[in-house]
Structure 1
Amino acid sequence: MRRQSKEKLRKILFYFVLAVIVIYLLFPFYWAIVSSLKSEAQLNMTPATLIPRNPNTGEISFFTRNYKAIFSNGGFVRGLINSTIVATCTTILALLTGSFAAFALGKLRFKGKTPALYVILAMTMFPQVTVLSGLYAVINALNLSARISMIFSYLLFTLPFTTWVLTSFFKELPVEIMQSAQVDGATPFQTFHLILLPLTAPALVTTGLLSFIQAWNEYLFALTFTSIDPSARTVPVAIQFFSGEFARQEPFGEIMAAAVMVTIPIVILVLIFQKRIVAGLTAGAVKG
């Protein structure tokens, strides 16, 4: 009886902690959705309501004009396009370059491989603000456009991460695969892109999605490099420059609607590739 009561208590405690964590993680997103469906009068109601309600009658009432407003805002739509271009290009370049570097670091023998790995790891530890001023001076000297500047600056952080993670996956691949390919007459490049690269698909999806999310949400570099070229602003910067219909009005509902719309593509990508993401995160965890 004591064991059964202890097990029940543990289960109750476990599910309680799990419920607290789930609520803690999901409530901000839920509150953003609810706030995006409220008018200014509903947002000013006290106490705040967990469901949009009419300020006069108290009935449930959804206000959808916030979503219409953001899509009629040329800056927001342009920001979506810019973010898609910059994040996609950054991800593709990071995966292309990172996979070649990871193959060399994981499967080839050369002097200085271990120091190179530590240098790559150290690059992921630098805060963005420490390299911003120097990078901005380099970008100005090269006279690059804002979009290209953001793509190359984002690679400073996505490429080391991609290379480091993919290197561990290439190390886990059996050496016999390369040896068999060499016996069959395959060149190292053919072995890489025809045999080894497809085997690392879960890792490519995982690192690619994380790189895309980082580039999609980046704000500091985007704000700096688009200060001269407002047409190249990405979504996070475009949301900052939202203005209300009247002077000194804070368009909180529109900002929440924009935040929801920006989050939806990331959620869709995670749902589409969730199996490969799980496979990529758990690959190599158990050795047979």
Structure 2
Amino acid sequence: MSTREKWLWVVGGVLIVVYALFPVGWIVSLSLKSSADIANGRFLPTVVSWENYALILTGDASELFLPALRNSFGICLIATAISCVLSMFAAYAIARLDFRGKKVILSTALAVAIFPVISIVTPLFNVWRQVGLYDTWPGLIIPYLSLTLPISIWTLSAFFREIPWEMEQAAQVDGATTWQAFRKVIVPLAAPGVFTTAIIAFFIAWNDFAYGISLTSTSAARPVPAALGLFSGASQFEAPNGPVAAAAVLVTIPVVVLVLLFQRRIVAGLTNGAVKG
């Protein structure tokens, strides 16, 4: 490329990064402003204040935020683990076995993944109230599986197709059973894909709001996105912008750290099978 083209690429990249990070920077700046400094219209705080973080960690809002943070971690981790295990078996069967309806299963999984959640919240609310799952961890884990399983099956089935069938056959020739070949040969080879799928499933469950706000009513199972919607200001005339921004920053930190720590595995999983030969 010529020098002019290189500079155009650099300028374009900088503009994209600024466009993507501006909302994040605004939320961080808002979380560091005092209640009297929020409406000043400036991007940066006049004086850095930690009162919003103190409010949600040790203040009045801690009773709402901290239990919700615990619930989100527990529910999302359990839902992700179950989703990965079930989708791994389903994707292996779709990729390896020859049976009728494979395309129908994949199409159905994709259709369920894009199905609007809000359309089933009310029926699910009524059923959960009758069977005793309302405002419980299982009452959120099961709906979260409906969000994470379809995309996990769709993603993992593509990874399993890229694993050479001959490697599994060689393990069986050496005396391994089907289960041993799957556990000791296929699963390690598919580890980048499984890890990528787990990250995606965790993000989907972590960011859910519709199920969290509709299927919970107390801090027993309420996740963080639902808890943020219940924050209130010091009075009815004051919006809780600062505490909500501080809570959003704290909730985003685990996701950012997770991506930074395992970005190589994520990239390896997303690009697996993209180039052959």
Corresponding residue for 1:49? 42
TM-score scaled by length of structure 2: 0.94
CA deviation profile, 1:159-199 (whole Å, cap 9, x unmatched): 01001100010011001111111112222211112110111
Gap runs ≥5 in structure 2? none
1:143 is displaced (CA, Å) by 1.9
CA deviation profile, 1:43-76 (whole Å, cap 9, x unmatched): 122xx223211xxxxxxx2101111111121110
Moved more, 15-24 or 257-266: 15-24
Corresponding residue for 2:52? 66
1:135 to 1:247, Cα distance in 2 relative to 1, 3 A: closer
Q: Tell me the SS of whatever aligns to 1:248.
A: coil
Corresponding residue for 1:94? 83
CA distance in 2, matches of 1:173, 1:223: 41
Equivalence map 1:262-273=2 (5 Å): 262-273=251-262
Moved more, 138-147 or 114-123: 138-147
1:179 to 1:199, Cα distance in 2 relative to 1, 3 A: same
CA distance in 2, matches of 1:136, 1:246: 31
Moved more, 154-163 or 125-134: 125-134
The answer as to whether partners of 2:31 and 2:245 remain within 8 angstroms in 1 is: yes
Task: Find out whether 1:28 has 2:18 as its counterpart.
Answer: no
1:74 to 1:188, Cα distance in 2 relative to 1, 3 A: same
Q: Tell me the SS of whatever aligns to 1:231.
A: coil
CA distance in 1, matches of 2:211, 2:112: 17
1:246 is displaced (CA, Å) by 3.0
CA distance in 1, matches of 2:176, 2:88: 19
The answer as to whether partners of 1:219 and 1:236 remain within 8 angstroms in 2 is: yes
1:10 is displaced (CA, Å) by 1.8
Higher gyration radius (CA): 1
The answer as to whether partners of 2:110 and 2:154 remain within 8 angstroms in 1 is: yes
Matching residue within 101, 118, 139 for 2:107: 118
Q: Tell me the SS of whatever aligns to 2:133.
A: coil
Task: Find out whether 1:10 has 2:5 as its counterpart.
Answer: yes
1:251 to 1:125, Cα distance in 2 relative to 1, 3 A: closer
TM-score scaled by length of structure 1: 0.91
**2:27 is matched by which residue type in structure 1?**
A
Question: How many pairs were matched up?
Answer: 273
Gap runs ≥5 in structure 1? 54-60
Corresponding residue for 1:56? none
The answer as to whether partners of 1:75 and 1:238 remain within 8 angstroms in 2 is: yes
Corresponding residue for 1:188? 178
**1:282 is matched by which residue type in structure 2?**
T
CA distance in 1, matches of 2:17, 2:187: 36
**1:50 is matched by which residue type in structure 2?**
F
Q: Tell me the SS of whatever aligns to 2:166.
A: helix
CA distance in 1, matches of 2:108, 2:38: 50
1:36 is displaced (CA, Å) by 0.5
Identity among equivalent positions (%) equals 40
Corresponding residue for 1:151? 141
CA distance in 1, matches of 2:256, 2:48: 23
Task: Find out whether 1:201 has 2:191 as its counterpart.
Answer: yes
Task: Find out whether 1:133 has 2:119 as its counterpart.
Answer: no
Corresponding residue for 1:241? 230
CA distance in 1, matches of 2:274, 2:36: 53
